[in-house]
Amino acid sequence: MKLSFRWYGEEDPVKIEYIKQIPSMDSIVTAIYDVPVGEVWSMESINKVKETVEKAGLNFDVIESVPVHEDIKLGFSSRDKYIENYKQNIINLGKAGVKVICYNFMPVFDWTRSQLDKKLEDGSTALVYYKDQINKMDPLKGELSLPGWDSSYTKEDLKDLFDKYSKIDEEDLWTNLEYFLKEIIPVAEASNVKMAIHPDDPPWSIFGLPRIITTEENLDRFLKLVDSEYNGLTLCTGSLGSGSFNNIVRMVDKYSAQGRIHFMHVRNIKLLDDGSFEESAHYSSCGSLNIVEIMKALHKNKFNGYLRPDHGRMIWGETGKPGYGLYDRALGAMYIAGIWETLDNVNKE
């Protein structure tokens, strides 16, 4: 396992030298954030970030994310132009030594929560998804700004996108994803860059938009679209685990045994009776997921990919990007590393 940490570049309140101080930390997970979706990342921009990361004594191995343009997801004729740009990004990142690219195929919205700063019993704050709050929201009114919602969309842009997506269903989205994969995976193979799709978060339809990377059955279908080791998964325990219908330990065991997990996002969530959830500390007893069993499944299958502690609470008075503070994610990293070290030592006896 290679322990990694998400960093949002020079503007991130978390200093990269602090990340280096976390024991066992191997890699920085980052991206180029000032290029519009669908455009090519220059080698100059990529190498500048690479230099910053390596100067801090960390590896520049994982990119999260290279966003997929909506025209590709919608299957428009203009998609070929954006797919060619995507291929060039894979080539450029491969030249820079990147090993894994995380991406998603979620229409319009990325991960979605109803609150950024829900105060928990211990006084920390966390990201939460309360269904009663979501059901009262209307993104087309242009009055909301939540994590995972692209703030670059105007009210008119969103209305236009929703109208376009109203004309396609899940099967259309599958068809468009297959077209995309068949174009990019040969380039990824030639560039020695493994593609790792992130599941939909949460794993069900949001505001009537189709979502397909949601269940074990759908992950099986996805992996068969292009049966290549370069077509793999970012298995996010919190995203898939927020659906009680998903058996996360079984999925981690299955796909790590197949060698199709290239990147792990590990976080815990507390499932509520109505299907809502709250993000929690990584420690197993704090949430509904058994992090120890998840790590045991990875260890049993000799997982040697990248893993990062996912969203954390905001603790000890820390401010900044909700879910992406240093302190709780550092605690999560050490909890995960401690489990792994224990498993290593037990197996030596």
Q: What is the pLDDT of residue 147?
A: 54
Q: What is the pLDDT of residues 137-164, one digit of tens each?
A: 888 775 555 555 555 677 788 889 999 9
Reply yes or no on whether 130 is catalytic: no
Q: How far apart are the first and last CA of the chain?
A: 20
Closest CA to 332 of 284, 262, 263, 272: 284
Q: What is the pLDDT of residue 289?
A: 97
* Per-residue tokens: 189: 């193979």
For range 279-285, the mean pLDDT: 94
- Spot the catalytic one: 61, 71, 201, 310: 310
- Spot the catalytic one: 236, 253, 282, 299: 236
Helix intervals (H) in the chain: 16-20, 43-55, 70-74, 79-95, 131-134, 155-165, 170-191, 216-225, 237-241, 248-257, 291-300, 326-348
Q: Is the pLDDT of residue 305 over 70?
A: yes
- Spot the catalytic one: 69, 102, 165, 265: 265
Q: Is the pLDDT of residue 347 over 60?
A: yes
Confidence of residue 259 (pLDDT cuts 50, 70, 90): very high
Reply yes or no on whether 198 is catalytic: yes
- Spot the catalytic one: 255, 324, 328, 335: 324
Q: What is the pLDDT of residues 261-272, one digit of tens each?
A: 999 999 999 999
- Spot the catalytic one: 102, 201, 311, 328: 311
Q: Is the pLDDT of residue 312 over 60?
A: yes
Reply yes or no on whether 69 is catalytic: no
* Total number of residues shown for the chain: 349
Q: What is the pLDDT of residue 110?
A: 86
Average pLDDT, the chain: 94
Q: What is the pLDDT of residues 158-213, one digit of tens each?
A: 889 999 999 999 999 999 999 999 999 999 999 999 999 999 999 999 899 999 99
* Per-residue tokens: 4: 């990694």
Q: What is the pLDDT of residues 14-57, one digit of tens each?
A: 999 999 999 999 999 999 999 999 999 999 999 999 999 999 99
Q: What is the pLDDT of residue 150?
A: 54
What does the alpha-carbon distance between residue 2 and residue 24 come to, in Å, rounded to a whole number?
8
Reply yes or no on whether 102 is catalytic: no
pTM of the model: 0.95
Closest CA to 36 of 153, 146, 140, 144: 153
Domain extents in the chain: 2-348
Q: Are 193 and 93 in contact (CB under 8 A)?
A: yes
What does the alpha-carbon distance between residue 266 and residue 25 come to, in Å, rounded to a whole number?
15
List all residues 6 or more positions away from 102 whose beta carbon is below 8 Å from its beta carbon. Answer: 29, 62, 63, 64, 65, 196, 197, 198, 234, 263
Domain range 2-348, CATH class? alpha beta
The tally of CA atoms less than 13 A away on the side-chain side of residue 228 is 19
Phi, psi of 310 (to 5 degrees): -85, -165
Reply yes or no on whether 324 is catalytic: yes
Reply yes or no on whether 282 is catalytic: no
- Spot the catalytic one: 69, 198, 282, 299: 198
Query: Who wins on pLDDT, 154 or 92?
Result: 92
For range 229-256, the mean pLDDT: 98
Confidence of residue 63 (pLDDT cuts 50, 70, 90): very high
